[in-house]
Amino acid sequence: MDDHNNTKALVFRQMDLERENLLQQLKADYRQIIINYFAGNETSKGKIDKFIHKVFDYNLPVPQIIEIHMDLIDELAKQLKVEGRSDDILLDYRLTLIDILAHLCEMYRCSLTR
């Protein structure tokens, strides 16, 4: 590889790292949202709002959000199993996903209409 291509490869690697960082950040945010969802307080609502705006600003493909949700649910299921607790609560977290998708979808719809 010549210098030019080396630079390109570096830029690509940098983009890859930034993308991975963002996804990890979103995953951490979503974990906080899920865990506090049924507290339903202002902090929890603020976090959801911030998450939706971040996803919107980065124009994240929706399948990625679904993937973040599924990964987290899998992780929590394993954790509950290790602790010998029921995983019934995990079904309720679908409401969190519905809430987020509905608000995000309305945000995209309104941006398109304007």
98 lines the binding site for a copy of itself (CB under 8 A):
yes
Cβ closer to a copy of itself: 46 or 61?
61
Cβ closer to a copy of itself: 41 or 59?
59
Amino acid at 104: L
5 lines the binding site for a copy of itself (CB under 8 A):
no
Cβ closer to a copy of itself: 67 or 75?
67
1 lines the binding site for a copy of itself (CB under 8 A):
no
Query: Which of 109, 42, 105, 37 has its CA nearest to residue 72?
Result: 37
Binding segment toward a copy of itself, per CB under 8 A, in 3-11, 27-35, 72-80, 95-103: 95-103
Sites for a copy of itself among residues 41-70 (CB under 8 A): 59, 61-63, 65-66
Q: What is the DSSP string of the chain?
A: --HHHHHHHHHHHHHHHHHHHHHHHHHHHHHHHHHHGGG--HHHHHHHHHHHHHHHHTT--HHHHHHHHHHHHHHHHHHHHHTT---THHHHTHHHHHHHHHHHHHHHHHHHH-
Query: Which residues sit at the interface with a copy of itself, rule CB under 8 A?
Result: 59, 61-63, 65-66, 91, 94-95, 97-98, 101-106, 108-109, 111-113
